[in-house]
Every structure is written in C-alpha cells, then in structure tokens.
Chains A and B, each alone.
Chain A
Amino acid sequence: MKEFILRYQRQITLEGFGMEAQEKLSKAKILVIGAGGLGCPILQYLAAAGIGCIGIADEDTIQLSNLNRQILFGQEDIGKYKVEVAAAKINALNDHIQIVSYRERFDQQMCIEHFPKYDIIVDATDNFESRYIINDACVLLDKPLVFGAVSQYEGQVAVFNVLSNNIAVNYRDVFPSPPKNDEVLNCAEGGVLGVLPGTIGVMQATEVIKLVSGVGAALTNQMLTYNALTNQFITITLVKNPEANKTSPTSLDIFRQTNYAYLCS
C-alpha cells in the first residue's frame, strides 16, 4: 500500500483525481491492439499510470524502419516479436500490473473470444481491415472503443460506442464502408512523421484514463483531428448515420462470415 501511494503520488495528489480514481485504474482491464507507433506510447503511459491489466496484441516483428516512432523498441530488438519486447519493457516499468500478450492478428474469432474480458478496447492498428473488424466487434459486444489513426502529418482520435445524450456513435457512422485501395495512402507509401503517433497515442491513453476514472469529458461522439504542421486541433461532433445501418453486421453470425479482407481491398 505504501508503495502504491508513493508510485502514484502525483496522480493521487491531483485535485479531482485522488485515491478513488487511482483505484479505478488499478481495477481496469484494457486491450491495446497494435504495438506500433500508436501502441508504444499508449502501452507505456497506461502501464505507468497503473492500469491493472493490459492486453497487448500484435503479430509482427520489429524492423529497422519502425524505430523512428515505435519508442519501446531498440536496435537490439530488431527481428524480435513486438508483443514480447513491449511486454518486457512495460513490465520493467511497472511489475504490479498484469500483462497479457497475444502474438496474433485480431480477426473476428479473436475479438469474439477476448473482448468480453476487457473494459475498453484501444485501436492502435495500421490497416482498415483491422479497424473495421474491431469497430464492428465493439458494437456487437458493447465495448467502448478508443480510436486513433495517423497519416503523414495528421492524426485522428475518437471515443466510439459510449452512450452520451442517448446516442453512441461508432466508426461506421463516420465512414460507413472502408475505402478502396486507391482511395487512401498507407503509411508505407505516404510516410509518417515519427512524433505524430506519439501525440495521437498519448491522447488515446488520456481518453482511456478519463473513461476509466470518470475524470473530465472524454471525446465521446466526437472526433479530434490534429495537424502537426499547422498546430491545428479541430474537434468535430459526430452524428448517427443511417448509411451505417446498411453496412454494419447485425449479428455475431453475420460478423463471423463477413469477408473484411475483400471489403478493404
């Protein structure tokens, strides 16, 4: 207990936060999907803040080209699995929390199997296929989703599937169907400024902490866009989109049978 108070003293001392909010963090179970540019700062700050149980999912190994933004990894880690290095790094930061690693892609079955164990899902992936699978699973399994995405010098953050003023907006309300390959750039083609996923990932971690602790106002039914070149922050209010009803899977059976790889190609 003494160590708990010492470790989180700067948060416990915060007016409006205190021991009550800190204890909520230590009871929270958060799943972070993707341990890349967004996932690294998210994992680091959630572990440091004292989130009780953190799930980490990623099937990739560390490449040299990851190191400009994936700050949990060093040169000696190249070739190792991201989940393994990330878990060891955040365990070294805080060994009072539980860490669960998933060295595989979250397809429909993985979402259905593992989402019920967590309070909040964090989308830190790097492709539309995963993003639509995670969004649809959160809607069907009724899980709050903290969304973050980047492209070149800009990023987006949103909190989906949390009821506020009687509506709960999700990613399909913003973009009812995935773009085709020629409609957007991916990170490998378009590039990304290394610090940008740091900014966006830290904002996602902040939203998780606010949702869990109940402190402040989360980005519920809103999407924030940040432009690193112009220092512009714009927050857009989202609305329910009737188009989303036509494109969203309406049951877990339909979800299981949906070919997301085809929809996103």
Chain B
Amino acid sequence: MSIEIIFFGQLADKTGCSKVVLENPGSIDALNKMMKIQYPNLATAKFVIAVNNKIALDNESIHDHAKLAFMPPFSGG
C-alpha cells in the first residue's frame, strides 16, 4: 500500500520533486532511513514530518494511504 509525501521549501530542491508516492515503510523511523538512502541530500537537511496534517514523532507508525508533509524550518523575515 502506498503513501504520498509533499516536500516543502528547500526540501523540494533537495529531492528534485515536490511530491512523491511510495510504498508504505510502516513507521516514521523506517521512512526516515529509506528517504535518506533514496534522496542522499536529505541527510544534510533539517525537517519535521507531518502525517495527515499532524506532526509525527520518530517511533510512530504510518497507516496506508497516509498523506505526509516534509517541512523545513524557515528563518527569513
């Protein structure tokens, strides 16, 4: 089953896409590991992950068809 990920800000430049659909890895921890292999530039990026519009912590599980957002901190003003 798949999940959908949207990349915000500079993360879209780092991954080369603004959206991706992939196989559900099951948990945030597993997703983080998988993403950093698939998109090595993410290893040097700071971001927080939201699942279905709510911030997810590292040990949380991901349900099938979830919509995820990778959001970086912005400093500009």
Q: Which residues of A contact B (CB under 8 A)?
A: 34, 36-39, 123-128, 131, 148-152, 154-156, 173-175, 178-180, 182-187, 190, 192, 197, 223, 225, 227, 234-239, 241-242
Contact = CB atoms under 8 A, between A and B. Distances in A.
B77 A149 contact: yes
Contacts of A227: 8
A190 B12 CA distance: 14
A183 B44 contact: yes
A238 B10 contact: no
A130 to B, nearest CB: 9
Given A155-B74, A225-B71, A190 B53 contact: no
Contacts of A125: 77
Contacts of A238: 55
6 smallest CB-CB distances across A and B, nearest first, come from A187-B76, A126-B77, A149-B74, A151-B74, A179-B46, A237-B54
A88 B54 CA distance: 42
A135 to B, nearest CB: 11
A126 B55 contact: no
Contact of A183 (B46, B54, B71): B46
B53 to A, nearest CB: 5
A131 B44 contact: no
A156 B53 contact: no
Contacts of A37: 76-77
A156 B75 contact: no
B21 interface: no
Interface string B1-40: 0000010111000000000000000000000000000000
A258 B53 CA distance: 33
Nearest to B72: A184
9 contacts: A149-B74, A149-B76, A151-B74, A174-B48, A180-B46, A197-B76, A227-B8, A235-B53, A236-B53
A265 B45 CA distance: 15
A154 B74 contact: yes
A38 B77 CA distance: 5
A179 B77 CA distance: 17
B50 interface: yes
Contacts of A123: 77
Contact of A150 (B45, B71, B72, B76): B76
B77 A150 contact: yes
B75 A186 contact: yes
A225 B71 CA distance: 9
Contact of B55 (A38, A151, A237): A237
B53 A184 contact: no
B62 interface: no
Given A131-B75, A236-B71, A151 B9 contact: yes
